[in-house]
Every structure is written in structure tokens, then in C-alpha cells.
Amino acid sequence: MAGKHAANAPWQELERQAYHAYREWHLWLALRERELAERLTAGRTNKRASGAASAREGAERKPTRKEDRG
């Protein structure tokens, strides 16, 4: 029984987790890079849409005071 109990020591569980983290870090990085790229693309799309809306508003020019009188 002592051998089985020693095999479940807390440091061994930590070591196992560290091993799996080491083996899988490149996969995690690839997924994180993909997520960030999607956020950047979505952010650029939103900025373009709001920029286009403000450009349309700017194109609808308000008449100046001189044009109102004339």
C-alpha cells in the first residue's frame, strides 16, 4: 500500500500537469493566435463600418450662412 500511496504524491501530479503543458504549449499558442487574429479582424471591420457611416454624414454637408441667405 505504501508504494501506491507514494505514487500519488502531490508533486507527481504537478509534474504530470507540467509535462502535459509542455507537450501542448504549441497547440495552445496556435489557438490563441487564431483567436487574436479573429478579434483584430472583427475590430477592423467595426472601425471601417463606423468610418464609412461618419464619411456619409460628412458628405451630407450643411449649408453655410451665406448659402442660407442667398
pLDDT tens for the chain, 70 residues: list them: 455 555 678 999 999 999 999 999 999 999 999 999 999 998 887 776 666 666 665 556 565 666 556 5
- Between CA 5 and CA 13, with CA 8 as vertex, the angle to 5 degrees is 165
What is the structure's pLDDT at 39? 93
- Residue 28 in domain: yes
- The domain containing residue 25 runs over which residues? 11-39
Q: Residue 8 gets which letter from DSSP? A: T
pLDDT of residue 65: 64
Query: Which pTM value belongs to this model?
Result: 0.43
Q: Which 8-state DSSP code applies to residue 60?
A: S
60 in any annotated domain: no
Domain annotation covers residue 26? yes
Residue 30 lies in a domain: yes
- Count of the separate structural domains present in the chain: 1
